[in-house]
Amino acid sequence: MSSQKTAGPEGNDLFTRSHLFDLTGKVALVTGGGTGIGLMATQALAANGAKVYITSRNREKLTNTVETYGKNIAGQIIPIQADVTKKDDIEMLVQEITSREKVLDILVNNAGVSSSPVEVESDDAHDMKKSLFESDKANFEDWTEVYKTNVAAVYYVAASFLPLLQKATEVQQGWSSTIINISSISGMIKKSQHHFSYNASKAATIHVNRMLAEEVASNGLKIRINSIAPGVFPSEMTTKKSSDDQQKSEIPKEKYAGKVPAQRPGKDEDMAATPQEVMQAPGNMVLASLRNLRSQWFPPAPTFTEDNVPPQDGRVFIVTGGNAGVGFKLVKMLYTTGATIYMASRSKEQAEKAIETITTASPAPKSPRRIKILLFDLNDLESVKSAAASFAQQETKLDVLWNNAGTGGYGVEPGATTVQGFQAMVGMHCIAAQLFTHLLIPHLRVAATTAPKGSVRVVWTSSFLGEGGTPTNGIDFDTLATGTPDLVQKYAVSKLGNWMLGREMAVRYRTDGIVSVAQNPGNIRAGSYAGTPGWVMMLIGPLMYETKLGGCTELYAGLSPEVSLEMSGCYVIPFGRIRADKDCPRKDLLNAMKPEAEGGLGYAARFWDWCEEQWRPFV
């Protein structure tokens, strides 16, 4: 049986930029590589050592690109004039590169065109018909031209180079060739942005990418196929102007201030970093999984909100991190139910402000409503113990615990640890949360003796990255204590840990009448994204949802009657749906969590025990 071990201290060189992004000896092709995003990709590849072939219909632009950017670089830029909307030109391109190279390592399908804008703001149906149907710009030729370049060319260029790409994988141990299809964020949003045909074509590009990836993999070819959906970047397409003498375009920063999370259009280096990550990422990691997480990125509207919650008079709730973000929205919804709510927060001042905001905005209560403060810091187990003790002095029972508090992957410094010395992400999200839950078990048991069956619950907050950002089988116990150098993966592993804790608690406490459920609140605008690089926010910003919707997911997990005792251990996805295991894209994670007695790896039980071993000396 083969195995793979992670690098120890002697392998630090493996994590340097020069190693991670070294493309020396690699052969790449970038269609439309002379301007805009294509030029950004070309520069990034060539600067890191690749031999980059670029195409354009315009010979002058190709020549200028080589003269301007092809000097004093680690790699090469080689121009080939070609029109990728013509099969004869595509075949010529294949033959030309095949005559020069034994393999093709990287294909970036970037060539694309925009469409004629149409007016969508209308006074009535007749006015809208005039804009969308009767206008000179509304014609089949426009749609045909856009689809020919943005969709059909992507498909045919990818198909034509499959043999050369497959050969690259076969002759290079540890490398798999890659196709990167450049789509657009415009293909993932509802708004037409005045460009129906362009936005529709980019949505089609994304689906062509999915189908190609599936069929190529199903036939045993080892070629990674992924798409990138950029936001707003300077190009001839976005500026509607010819590029300058260096074939660059410019968008004033202030044009997008207040319109996108990064408060600016993308920079060249933002775009350059993205294909680099795609090229170097293992095929079974983030990008392959993201294809299967669409339901969590594009969820339906919530069907369970505060309007569906019956009176909760006499019940007691705790929401950790309830003073901000999703936790704040959850407390605000719970406040109208009549329950007693404990807002667990690091800052008394911030909690008081949050409570004032909630109570001021709410109508006069028909029944007593109370929000109390628990001073609580996941970064310090002493604070966790103190919060549990403070709660025990005031209450005998606890009906629902929402383990909501946490921080984002970029919210801590590399190498950061908790007060007790644990790696920050797993220390706060898993070890401290499990300790807090453990200390409150007696109060949950008391509530379960009299509460309706299945209504006493513990909710664990996971994330789509728990599935999309973790390696095969999710957790490497050999490096769990320190984590990887990658901040995002540390966060992802900790969020998978929350899912595992939720699943294992269901096994251990079902007979006590306590429901345990993990949930992904969704891609929410919240403080957990603090410190995230601008290029990442540029990509995901348009896919983010209002914070209240994340609160609806948590509300569903904690109070919906659909989350019964029989469903304990389930996984709730945005914005309040139970996902069946058969629909989980990561079968390796399900097998990892499955008990050894059932043929699984038993990682959920092992992780539960590991967390307990960490906090036990401090209790």
Cβ atoms 402, 334 nearer than 8 A? no
- Per residue in 570-607, pLDDT tens? 999 999 999 999 888 788 999 999 999 999 999 999 99
For residue 453, what are the contacts with CB-CB under 8 A and spacing of at least 6? 513, 564, 565
Catalytic residue among 495, 529, 571, 603: 495
Residue pair 199/147 in contact (Cβ under 8 Å)? The answer is: no
φ, ψ dihedrals at 498, nearest 5°: -65, -40
The full 3-state SS of 394-431, as one line of letters, equals HCCCCCEEEECCCCCCCCCCCCCECCCCCEHHHHHHHH
Say if CB 522 and CB 575 are below 8 A apart.
yes
Listed in sequence order, the residues at least 6 apart from 444 whose beta carbon sits closer than 8 Å to its beta carbon are 397, 398, 401, 456, 458, 509, 512, 514
**394 vs 185: CA distance, rounded Å:** 50
Catalytic site includes residue 495: yes
Active site (annotated) includes residue 545 = no
The span from the CA of 55 to the CA of 73, in Å, is 19
Kind of pairing, strands 223-228 and 106-109?
A: unpaired
Question: In this model, does residue 307 exceed pLDDT 60?
Answer: yes
Measure the CA–CA gap between 441 and 444, rounded to whole angstroms. 5
Rg (CA), the chain: 27
Render pLDDT for 447-498 as a digit per residue (tens, 0 to 9): 999 999 999 999 999 998 898 888 889 999 998 988 777 778 899 999 999 9
Q: How confident is the model at residue 15 (pLDDT cuts 50, 70, 90)?
A: very low
Q: At what angle do helices 603-615 and 433-450 cross, to 10 degrees?
A: 110
DSSP conformation letters of 514-534: -EEEEE---SB-SGGGTT--H
Secondary structure letter of residue 585 according to DSSP: S
Q: Concatenated DSSP letters for 215-233?
A: HHHHTT--EEEEEE---S-
Domains in the chain, CATH or no CATH each: 19-281 (3.40.50.720), 310-584 (3.40.50.720)
Q: Which pLDDT does position 232 carry in this prediction?
A: 58
Written as six digits, the tokens of 110 are 């970037």
Considering only residues 28 and 7, tell me which one the structure prediction assigns the higher pLDDT: 28
The amino acid that residue 103 corresponds to is V
Do 401 and 318 meet the contact criterion of CB atoms below 8 Å apart?
A: yes
Over residues 438-450, mean pLDDT: 98
Q: Nearest Cα to 234, choosing from 446, 484, 39?
A: 39
Given 491, 529, 545, 603, the catalytic residue = 491
Looking at this protein, which amino acid is placed at residue 183? S
How remote is the C-alpha of 220 from its chain's centroid? 27
Q: pLDDT digit string (tens) for 74-114?
A: 999 999 999 999 999 999 999 999 999 999 999 999 998 88
pLDDT tens for 353-405 read: 999 999 988 765 555 568 999 999 999 999 999 999 999 999 999 999 999 99
What would the DSSP string read from start to end of 66-116? HHHHSSS-SSEEEEEE--TTSHHHHHHHHHHHHHH-S---EEEE-------
Residue 124 gets the label, from left (phi > 0), alpha (psi -120 to 50) or beta, of: beta
Nearest Cα to Cα of residue 422 among 403, 438, 435, 437: 435
Q: Would the pTM count as exceeding 0.85?
A: no
Structure tokens at 586: 């990561």
Q: Which of 179, 172, 160 is nearest to 28 (CA)?
A: 179
Q: Length of the chain in residues, anyone?
A: 619
Average pLDDT over residues 410-415: 73
pLDDT digits (tens, 9 = 90+) for 286-303: 343 343 345 556 688 899
Q: What is residue 26's predicted lDDT score, i.e. its pLDDT?
A: 94
